[in-house]
Amino acid sequence: MKKISFFKMSGSGNDFIVIDNRGPVIDEAFLTRFITGVCRRRLSAGADGLILVERSGCADFRWRYYNSDGSRAEMCGNGARCVSRFAYLKGIAGASMSFESDTGLMEAKIIGDRVKVRMPMPHDMILDESVKTTEGLVRLSSINTGVPHAVVEVQDLEAVDVRARGRELRFHRHFAPAGTNVNFIVPEKDGAIAIRTYERGVEDETLACGTGAIASALLTAVKQGTNSPIRVLPKGGGHLTIHFNREKTGFDEVFLEGDARVIYEGTMWDEAWNEKGTTNQ
C-alpha cells in the first residue's frame, strides 16, 4: 500500500475517511494499524471513523465502518449517509440505492447534498432506569438503534461535562460487556431536541451522532408523545431529521435525513499511516 485515494466527508460534523476498496486496495492484515494511523488528528487525515466501500452480490455495494480506534461498529447513521453520497458521486450507485451492512440491507436516497437513509429496526428499549454513578443516581433511558445508546435528559446542555460523564456511563457495569454510547439532550419548545454525544470507539465527544439522534428522538417520542418527524440539533450545527412510524410495540420505517458533505478528495501516502509520520524506506 503506497498511495490510496479517498474522500474526506462530514455528516453534521461527524467526519469520515471514505475509501473505494472494491479492488481491494487495503491489506486486511494491516487494517487496524492503517485505520488508527490515518484517523489521527493533526498527524494524518484525521477522522471520527473510516469507511470501506466493497463489492456486493445482492446490492449496489457493501460497506464496513470502523471507529477511529480501529474497532468495527455495526452501524453509524452519519457514516451511512456519507457512504451513500460517495457511492452516488463515484457512479457506484444511482440516486436511489441499497447496500449491505452488518445490520442487514439498507436503502438510501440522494437529495442534493442531503441523504435520507432507512435505518435498522430499533430494539431493546428501556425507559427511565436509575444508574448509580460518582455524581449520584442518573435517570436515563436506552435503546439500540443499530448500536446501543443511553439517553440522559439535562437542564443545561452547555454545562454538561460530556467527556467525563459520558465516559463513566459508557464503561459502566450496567452496560457491560459491550458498553454504550451516551447522549445528553434538552427538548426544545418547538419540538426539536438539542444533543451532545459521547461516542463509543471514538472515546470522546463528537460533533454529531446519527444513531444517537435517532435514539434520542424515538425515546422522546415515547415519553412526550411527539410525532414524526423530529428535528435533532447536534453540536456540529445544522439539523438531522428523524422520520418514523410509531407502533404499539415499538417503531418501524425509521429514516435518518441530513447533510453528507464532501470536504475534499485526495491521495494518502504511506506517511499518513506510519506511526512516526515517515516512510519505511
Integer Cα distance of 87 and 85 in angstroms: 5
Q: Which residues contact 42 (CB under 8 A, 6 or more apart)?
A: none
Question: CA-CA-CA-CA torsion for 244, 191, 170, 272, nearest 10 degrees?
Answer: 80
Q: Which residues pair with 72 in a beta bridge?
A: 66
For the stretch 5-21, pLDDT in tens is 999 999 999 999 999 99
Average pLDDT value for residue range 194-213: 96
CA distances from 180 to 73, 141, 169 (A): 12, 12, 7
Per-residue pLDDT at 275 exceeds 80:
no
Report the sign of the C-alpha dihedral through residues 262, 265, 269, 271, in that order: negative
Angle at 74 between CA 233 and CA 33, to 5 degrees: 100
Cell of 50: 473510516
Per-residue pLDDT at 265 exceeds 70:
yes
Can you give the C-alpha Rg of the chain in angstroms? 18
For the stretch 142-154, pLDDT in tens is 999 999 999 999 9
Three-class DSSP category at 28: helix
Average pLDDT value for residue range 223-236: 94
- All structural domains of the chain: 3-113+262-272 (3.10.310.10), 123-257 (3.10.310.10)
Report the 10 Å Cβ neighbour count for 154. Answer: 15
For the stretch 86-137, pLDDT in tens is 999 999 999 999 999 998 999 999 998 899 999 999 999 999 999 999 999 9
Per-residue pLDDT at 32 exceeds 90:
yes
Average pLDDT value for residue range 67-85: 95
Is residue 76 part of the annotated active site? The answer reads: yes
Cell of 235: 453540536
What pLDDT score was predicted for residue 2?
Answer: 81
Q: What distance lies between CA 84 and its chain's CA centroid?
A: 13
- % of the chain surpassing 90 pLDDT: 89
pLDDT band at 237 (very low <50, low <70, confident <90, very high): confident
Burial of 125 per CB tally in 10 Å (0-12, 13-18, 19+): middle
pLDDT band at 81 (very low <50, low <70, confident <90, very high): very high
What per-residue string of b and e applies to 171-185 under the rule 16 or more CB within 10 Å gives b?
ebeebeeebbbbbbb
